[in-house]
Amino acid sequence: MRIIAKLDVKPPFVVKPVHFEGLRKIGEPKTLASQYYAQEADEIFYLDIVSSLYRREILFEEIKRTAEGVFVPFAVGGGVRNLDDMTRLFHCGADKVVINTYALQHDPELIDRAAHLFGSQSVVVNIEAKQWDGWWECYSDCGRERSGKDVLKWVKEAQERGAGEVLLQSVDRDGRKAGFDIDLIANVKDKVSIPLVAASGAGSLEDIRKVYLEAAPDAIALASTLHYGICDIGAIKKMLNMDSKVGG
């Protein structure tokens, strides 16, 4: 299972939204990206969490600076509206692009066009799931805007349109450090054949072990867990390695 360091960015800082609200400053994107790269993160995700919300331009220079010296995949999202945005991100040093708001709320075909030009493997669809009675709804704009779309249906549609990976976040669990939404993750995993990156809720090594054993995502994306030094990447890898040996 890949371990991804997720940087939620409200320029110029990496912040940590609690429950997708109330932001705390953590540090500079470049410093943290270098730090997690040195700690052997398998990938770095950079998500500008206010770009869509404020309808402002993507800050390409900041992204370019952050990508420097990161010799593992660097995925970038937040405010991505069209193929030109994506091309510019690749030219800044991105290896994958992350799409949510514009595909979900305005133009689902953006996924098809991106997969055609860049290949599925570089197109990550970000899902912000909110639980209701008996279903999960897709949100956008960092958990602020409803879409009315069912997560399990949307994830399937995104895959059919050519998405190569799903980043699954939970509006309910994010930043709470009280465990992953195992039920959500297992349900989504069951619906798709593309790799699933589970996020939101890790508060201990045990939480990570639990999601690994019970929902088997292909990767996990960690933010608070790493920012606050709750777990370090080496310890997580060591633990997972032991579990994978036990499990054969």
Partner 1 sequence: MTGKIGLIDYGAAGNQESIRRALIEAGGDVLIVSDAADFSKVSKLVLPGVGGFHDVMAIIKSSGLYEAILEAAKVKPILGICLGMQMMATLGFEYGETKGLNLIDGEVRKITCKGPIPHIGFNRLEQMGDSPLFKGISAEDEFYFMHSYEFVNYTDILSLSSYYGHKFVSAVGQNHLFGVQFHPEKSREAGIKLLRNFINL
Q: Decide: is 238 part of the binding site for partner 1 (CB under 8 A).
A: no
Considering only 96, 130, 161, 173, the residue that binds partner 1 (CB under 8 A) is: 96
Q: Which of residues 137-196 bind partner 1 (CB under 8 A)?
A: 164-165, 192-196
Q: Decide: is 20 part of the binding site for partner 1 (CB under 8 A).
A: no
Q: Decide: is 74 part of the binding site for partner 1 (CB under 8 A).
A: yes
CB atoms within 10 A of CB 116: 12
Q: Alpha-carbon distance 142 to 164, whole Å?
A: 21
Give the nearest distance from C-beta 110 to partner 1 in angstroms.
14
Measured from the CB atom, is 47 or 92 closer to partner 1? 92
Give the nearest distance from C-beta 21 to partner 1 in angstroms.
31
Residue 111 burial (C-beta neighbours within 10 Å; 0-12, 13-18, 19+): buried
Active site residues: 8, 128
Q: Alpha-carbon distance 75 to 60, whole Å?
A: 13
Q: Which two tokens stand for residue 189?
A: 């995993």
User: DSSP labels for 117-155?
Assistant: HH-GGGEEEEEEEEEETTEEEEEETTTTEEEEEEHHHHH
Give the nearest distance from C-beta 71 to partner 1 in angstroms.
5
Residue ranges binding partner 1 (CB under 8 A): 2, 40, 42, 64, 67-69, 71-74, 83, 87, 90-96, 115-122, 164-165, 192-196, 218-219
